[in-house]
């Protein structure tokens, strides 16, 4: 069913049914469609010809891109995501930004765009005074050993404990911050030890999670330090700065507090320190002027909505975010526990991301051992990693990102419903058809497809929807749209497989055509999962 005549009728000020009728008169659908009619207020109901569908399915099967062509105009996209803090553990709160950003990067690359991932790590600020002093106290070698095994929480907590317990340590920490900001060589070297060790640990987590971020993608807060005075000076020269209670602020139009008074965006506080807004403005200038971004995506939690909206507004006022460049907040909700509250450990601490991933893999291995005892050794371990990590990522990505979701191992590792394991199993089951039949997919005939049964028609229509699903996810920055498509495709294939024998088809021609549809489904599932950063095992 097509609804284009509805929108066109509204634009032309005409009855949509009349517009739909004219469309039908103007196009020749011979060999493409039959039973074409105008329905309801102006819908076009079209039944595509079986031969037309079969030809499209064959063409898609022969196409390495599965019908997903690059966008006509390539853009340069900067995607800001993950952004953990140096010398702090990555926790479950970092999961959403990391996997959503990674999926969007993969999708936009597949559509032919140049993606510049930026990991805006928190590598600057007053806490580094106490962290560097704690490093000095425990010794550089001991600190490196502690950080290299991923014990970032303990390192940070011990530094905080010393800061809270000792006035002498507190004073040293404050002096160290001054030296760091002044560029003292030894202090900067010690700071770099913390940054490098943290970055190495982050990479271990990224590799385990299966995301594409590398150390080269890190562009931390410190990168913009030298640009901050220029941000303030230029805002002042533009007449946008206002002194408010000793702080230098910008009051962008349309932003008010709860009492209705104008809302300030603090650029530099009364003590002369630069606020987060100054760094964010410097970041936009760099991404527009130096990286030449056409589109900037900020994959950041919903609580930053108002802050980013103000930053974007001020950047527009200053002319640093021109009309031809879009800046978008790809916001997301929280990860909740079974109690509906923020997901925490029993002691109330944030859940370490590596611990969560380890448990997911262990649970997946137990489930796989029970379902397929013949899968052993390295292969079972590899499949368990793919299923466990994939389950965690899919559960996050399949949730509408603007909403909170409940983290539930049992549900996300289930082999039924919209889960990663269900889709992975659907793919593996299709691949098993070819192993059992001793069929090489590469030897199939592109012209073999025949669309006769209703389930064959439904499957072909579902397969042809892959490009639209990917584009929809890209345009809206909603990966759950692609997840929904893949789940529907897997369900449609199940209905097809139950109704249409493949290896035991009535004749060789029918068998060959259905094998093409099976292979196309497996490749589409694999391609879709890959865009989500999830592996598709051949066996499970």
Q: Return contacts of 243-246, CB within 8 angstroms, 24+ apart.
A: 245/270, 246/270
Q: How confident is the model at residue 167 (pLDDT cuts 50, 70, 90)?
A: very high
Question: What number of CA atoms fall less than 13 Å from residue 279's CA on the CB side?
Answer: 18
* 4-48 to CATH, choices 2.60.40.2470, 3.30.1360.70, 3.30.310.40, 3.30.420.10: 3.30.1360.70
Residue 402, classed as helix, strand or coil, is: coil
Please name the residues in contact with 403: beta carbons below 8 A apart, sequence gap of 6 or more: 333
Alpha helix positions (H), 252-352: 276-289, 305-318
Whether residue 51 contacts residue 447, with contact meaning beta carbons closer than 8 Å, is answered with: no
How large is the average pLDDT for residues 377-394? 98
How large is the average pLDDT for residues 295-311? 97
pLDDT value at 347 more than 80: no
Whether residue 509 contacts residue 399, with contact meaning beta carbons closer than 8 Å, is answered with: no
Residue 58, classed as helix, strand or coil, is: helix
Q: Return the structure tokens found at 366.
A: 């137990």
Phi-psi region of 150 (alpha: psi -120 to 50; beta: other; left: phi over 0): left
Q: What is the CATH number of domain 353-402+410-531?
A: 1.10.730.10
The residue with tokens 């892959």 is 466
Report DSSP state, residue 416: S
DSSP secondary structure string for all residues of 459-514: HHHHHHTHHHHHHHHHHHT-THHHHHHHHHHHHHHHHHHHHS-STT-SSHHHHHHH
Task: State the Rg of the chain over Cα.
Answer: 28
Separation between Cα atoms, residue 116 and residue 194, nearest integer Å:
25
Separation between Cα atoms, residue 394 and residue 424, nearest integer Å:
11
pLDDT value at 150 more than 80: no
Q: How confident is the model at residue 271 (pLDDT cuts 50, 70, 90)?
A: confident
pLDDT value at 5 more than 90: no
Residue 27: what pLDDT? 84
CA proximity to 209, closest of 79, 386, 349, 406: 386
Please name the residues in contact with 309: beta carbons below 8 A apart, sequence gap of 6 or more: 255, 329
**Phi, psi angles (nearest 5°) of residue 203:** -65, -35
How large is the average pLDDT for residues 420-447? 97
Q: How confident is the model at residue 153 (pLDDT cuts 50, 70, 90)?
A: confident
CA distances from 378 to 2, 210, 381, 382, 383 (A): 50, 18, 5, 6, 9
Residue 16: what pLDDT? 86
Helix (H) / strand (E) element for 387: namely helix 377-397
30-73 pLDDT per residue, tens: 788 887 888 888 888 888 899 999 999 999 999 999 999 999 99
3-state SS of the chain: helix, strand, coil percent to 5? 55, 10, 30
Whether residue 33 contacts residue 42, with contact meaning beta carbons closer than 8 Å, is answered with: no
Q: Return the structure tokens found at 511.
A: 């068998």
How large is the average pLDDT for residues 382-404? 98
Separation between Cα atoms, residue 392 and residue 380, nearest integer Å:
18
Residue 147: what pLDDT? 87
User: How do 76-80 and 114-118 pair as beta strands?
Assistant: parallel
How large is the average pLDDT for residues 300-308? 96
**Per-residue exposure over 515-528, b if at least 16 CB sit within 10 Å of its own CB, e if not:** bbbbbbbbbbbbbb
Residue 501: what pLDDT? 97
pLDDT value at 449 more than 80: yes
Cross-strand pairs, 327 = 296
Whether residue 269 contacts residue 251, with contact meaning beta carbons closer than 8 Å, is answered with: no
How large is the average pLDDT for residues 499-514? 96
205-224 pLDDT per residue, tens: 999 999 999 999 999 999 99
How large is the average pLDDT for residues 198-207? 95
Residue 31: what pLDDT? 80
How large is the average pLDDT for residues 442-466? 96
Please name the residues in contact with 471: beta carbons below 8 A apart, sequence gap of 6 or more: 111
Q: What residue spans define the domains of the chain? A: 4-48, 76-122+220-329, 127-209, 353-402+410-531
Whether residue 37 contacts residue 29, with contact meaning beta carbons closer than 8 Å, is answered with: no
The whole-chain average pLDDT of the chain stands at 95
Separation between Cα atoms, residue 134 and residue 140, nearest integer Å:
9
Whether residue 445 contacts residue 62, with contact meaning beta carbons closer than 8 Å, is answered with: no
Whether residue 284 contacts residue 321, with contact meaning beta carbons closer than 8 Å, is answered with: yes
Separation between Cα atoms, residue 85 and residue 126, nearest integer Å:
13
Q: How confident is the model at residue 267 (pLDDT cuts 50, 70, 90)?
A: very high
Residue 344: what pLDDT? 85
Separation between Cα atoms, residue 275 and residue 298, nearest integer Å:
18
* 76-122+220-329 to CATH, choices 1.20.1440.120, 3.40.50.620, 3.40.50.300, 3.20.20.210: 3.40.50.620
Q: How confident is the model at residue 6 (pLDDT cuts 50, 70, 90)?
A: confident
How large is the average pLDDT for residues 181-188? 94
Residue 199: what pLDDT? 95
94-133 pLDDT per residue, tens: 999 999 999 999 999 999 999 999 999 999 998 999 999 9
486-497 pLDDT per residue, tens: 999 999 999 999
pLDDT value at 348 more than 80: no
Residue 135: what pLDDT? 96
CA proximity to 530, closest of 412, 433, 423: 423
């Amino acid at each position: 069913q097509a609804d284009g005549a509805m929108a066109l009728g509204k634009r032309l000020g005409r009855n949509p049914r009349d517009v739909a009728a004219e469309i039908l008169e103007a196009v020749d659908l011979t060999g493409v469609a039959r039973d074409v009619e105008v329905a309801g207020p102006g819908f076009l109901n079209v039944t595509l010809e079986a031969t037309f569908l079969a030809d499209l399915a064959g063409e898609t099967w022969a196409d390495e891109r599965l019908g997903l062509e690059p966008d006509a105009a390539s853009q340069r996209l900067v995607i800001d995501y993950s952004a953990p803090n140096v010398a702090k553990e990555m926790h479950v709160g970092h999961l959403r930004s990391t996997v959503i950003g990674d999926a969007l990067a993969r999708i936009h690359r597949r559509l032919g765009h140049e993606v510049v991932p930026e990991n805006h790590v928190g590598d600057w600020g007053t806490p580094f005074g106490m962290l560097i002093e704690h490093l000095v106290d425990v010794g550089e070698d001991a600190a490196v050993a502690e950080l290299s095994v991923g014990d970032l929480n303990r390192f940070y907590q011990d530094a905080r404990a010393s800061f809270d317990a000792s006035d002498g340590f507190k004073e040293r920490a404050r002096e160290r911050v001054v030296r760091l900001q002044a560029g003292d060589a030894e202090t900067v070297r010690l700071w770099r030890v913390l940054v490098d060790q943290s970055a190495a640990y982050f990479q271990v987590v990224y590799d385990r999670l299966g995301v594409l971020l590398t150390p080269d993608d890190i562009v931390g807060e410190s990168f913009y330090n030298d640009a901050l005075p220029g941000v303030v000076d230029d805002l002042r020269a533009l007449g946008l700065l206002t002194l408010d209670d000793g702080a230098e602020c910008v009051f962008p139009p349309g932003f008010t507090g709860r009492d209705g008074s104008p809302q300030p965006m603090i650029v530099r506080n009364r003590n002369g320190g630069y606020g987060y807004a100054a760094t964010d403005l410097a970041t936009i200038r760099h991404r527009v002027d130096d990286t030449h971004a056409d589109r900037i995506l900020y994959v950041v939690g919903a609580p930053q909505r108002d802050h980013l909206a103000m930053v974007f507004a001020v950047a527009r006022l200053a002319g640093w975010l021109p009309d031809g460049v879009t800046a978008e907040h790809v916001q997301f909700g929280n990860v909740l526990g079974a109690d509906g509250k923020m997901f925490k450990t029993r002691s109330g601490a944030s859940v370490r991301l590596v611990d969560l991933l380890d448990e997911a893999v262990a649970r997946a291995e137990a489930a796989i051992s029970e379902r397929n005892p013949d899968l052993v050794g390295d292969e079972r371990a590899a499949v368990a990693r793919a299923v466990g990590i994939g389950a965690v990522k899919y559960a996050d990505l399949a949730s509408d990102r603007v909403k909170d979701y409940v983290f539930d191992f049992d549900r996300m590792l289930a082999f039924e419903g919209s889960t990663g394991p269900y889709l992975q199993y659907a793919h593996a089951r299709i691949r098993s058809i070819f192993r059992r039949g001793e069929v090489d997919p590469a030897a199939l005939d592109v012209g073999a497809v025949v669309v006769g049964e209703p389930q064959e028609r439904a499957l072909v229509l579902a397969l042809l929807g892959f490009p639209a699903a990917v584009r929809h996810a890209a345009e809206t920055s909603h990966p759950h749209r692609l997840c929904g498509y893949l789940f529907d495709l897997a369900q449609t294939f199940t209905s097809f497989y139950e109704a249409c024998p493949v290896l035991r088809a009535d004749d060789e021609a029918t068998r060959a055509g259905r094998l093409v549809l099976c292979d196309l489904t497996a490749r589409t599932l694999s391609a879709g999962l890959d865009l989500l950063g999830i592996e598709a095992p051949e066996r499970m």
